[in-house]
Structure 1
Amino acid sequence: MEKNKVLVIDDDKNIGLILKDYFEFEGFEVIVAYDGESGLRMVEEANPDIIILDIMLPKLNGWEICQKLRPQNSTPIIMLSAKNKDVDRITGLELGADDYVNKPFNTKELVARVKAVLRRVKESSTSKELKFKKFLINKVYRRVEVNGEKVDLTPKEFDLLWTLASSSKRVFKREDLLNNVWGYDYYGDTRTVDTHIKSIRSKLSKGVDDYIKTVWGVGYKFEAKENKK
């Protein structure tokens, strides 16, 4: 059975070695990079299944790496940081990270989070696609097209759009969307949902963005007009 490959990008060599030993014990293949530039290079060369990314790095910081990877690369990212302010957590998630863990962290918890993210990715790969008159959403390839043209969404934007579109007409509270897309243990501000919805609408062409309806005082719903099977 092929092992999942973890890329750890952290300039603290002790953390790199500890995570390497621990994840290898858990059955993962592990690669460690100690600065942003070599870490970004290893994403291309090693093609990891998931990236554990520190924010404070020499040469390129974690946020810069996220910006360079998204939306061209959808490899899941868990960010590590000694910064524990909500604004830092929200910034990381809005740049496309899948999870955010504060330092110091519990290694067992980090492994559990990695497994949870990989499990979600695996489950999503078995899903089908939703077709509408003007656009389609394919979750196998994590692809959105409007009139045949690809629309680039960040991983979280895609997950949010899919969650809404696959449950057409259901009204989602912002808290529900945070739980479904970011995970039950995410304690960020619900305004991050509004930020992502605004970004999705701006990326979808006029006439398609209005599939996502705001339900004032509650949250959002997706109205599936001209849905095709």
Structure 2
Amino acid sequence: MAHQQNILIVEDEVGLAEILRDYLQASGFSVEMIHNGLEVISWVKNNSPDMILLDLMLPGKDGMEICKEVRSFSNVPIIMTTARVEEIDRLLGLELGSDDYVCKPYSPREVVARVKAVMRRMAMISGETPTQITPIKLDQDRFLASIRGEELELTPVEFRMMQTFLDNLGRVFSRSQLMDKAYVDQRVVSDRTMDTHIKNLRKKMQPYFTDSDVIHSVYGVGYKFELPL
């Protein structure tokens, strides 16, 4: 029998935590809940969860402090949840060592999708068999891309953006982060230029993913790349 992945929800709003628990359990995960920040570190050390959904604002000890402390002894994937918009830049910059973040209010279905995306990404990094094999292949030596065996004509900037997205499925990137990845000469371009690159990349991929858009806009932040489940 396959290992049932265990998710720890750290959330002081009990009703919200229970809703997330129900959605995650319906998707095949086992779930534990903690509502006070002071209880988290000892529990994680004793139980080794497969992922932590960690709220930023908690009684006893806040999510930032918990995340930093967990990172001192574990690489367990952490998705932060926050209603504090002013903290988004810090979360995006991964200063805390988190793997992704979700803004409140959020859809429980979105949280489940983020969990699955981070799990897939971690499986690829660890060399395990991922739950989903991407139909997109990149040949970095020749700067060639293909989808289901058909060649996809990409500019060098689009190729590097695609590489960044595929290496980080489900992760949200700001325009400036994508700029740093796409322009190896470190030139500075406008947000409008990055939006145009995204628009062109979407247009080139649309014929292969007619039922869904794989590049998602995250309002006020940037973009993320997710393949259909």
Who is 1:44 aligned against?
45
Contact between 1:99 and 1:182, CA under 8 Å: does it hold in 2?
no
Partner of 1:63: 64
Q: Over the residues paired in the alignment, what is the CA RMSD in angstroms? A: 3.2
* Structure 2 gap segments, 5+ residues each: 129-139, 144-155, 190-229
Supply the distance in 2 between the matched residues of 1:175 and 1:102 (Cα, whole angstroms): 24
Query: What is the alpha-carbon distance in structure 1 between the residues aligned to residue 60 and residue 163 of structure 2?
Result: 35
Aligned equivalent of 2:76: 75
The answer as to whether partners of 2:100 and 2:171 remain within 8 angstroms in 1 is: no
Does residue 112 (structure 1) correspond to residue 129 (structure 2)? The answer is no
The alignment status of 1:179 with 2:178, answered yes or no, reads: no
**Structure 1: gaps spanning 5 or more residues:** 128-166, 198-213, 220-229
Query: What displacement does 1:84 show?
Result: 2.4
Q: Is the 8 A contact 2:10 2:52 kept in 1?
A: yes
Asked if 2 retains the 8 angstrom alpha-carbon contact of 1:35 and 1:60, the reply is yes
Output one character per residue of 1:122-144: Cα deviation in whole Å (capped at 9) or x when no partner.
111118xxxxxxxxxxxxxxxxx
Give the TM-score normalised by the residue count of structure 2: 0.60
Change in Cα spacing, 1:175 to 1:56, as seen in structure 2 (3 Å) is: farther
SS at match of 2:85: coil
State the partner residue of 1:188: 174
Instruction: State the 1:111 CA deviation.
Output: 0.4
Distance 2:188 2:72 in 1: 29
Q: Provide the C-alpha distance between the structure 2 equivalents of 1:184 and 1:27, rounded to a whole number of angstroms.
A: 19
Contact in 2 for aligned 1:98/1:182 (Cα 8 Å): no
- Structure number with higher relative contact order (C-alpha < 8 Å, ≥ 6 residues apart): 1
Q: How many residues are aligned here?
A: 162
User: SS in structure 2 opposite 1:122?
Assistant: helix
CA contact (8 A) 2:7 2:52 kept: yes
Deviation of the 1:83 alpha carbon: 1.4
C-alpha separation in 1, matches of 2:179 and 2:32:
33
Cα distance, 1:178 vs structure 2: 5.7
- Residues 136-167 of structure 1: CA distance to partner in whole angstroms, max 9, x if unpaired? xxxxxxxxxxxxxxxxxxxxxxxxxxxxxxx6
Q: Residues 181-221 of structure 1: CA distance to partner in whole angstroms, max 9, x if unpaired?
A: 55466253525987xx9xxxxxxxxxxxxxxxx623179xx
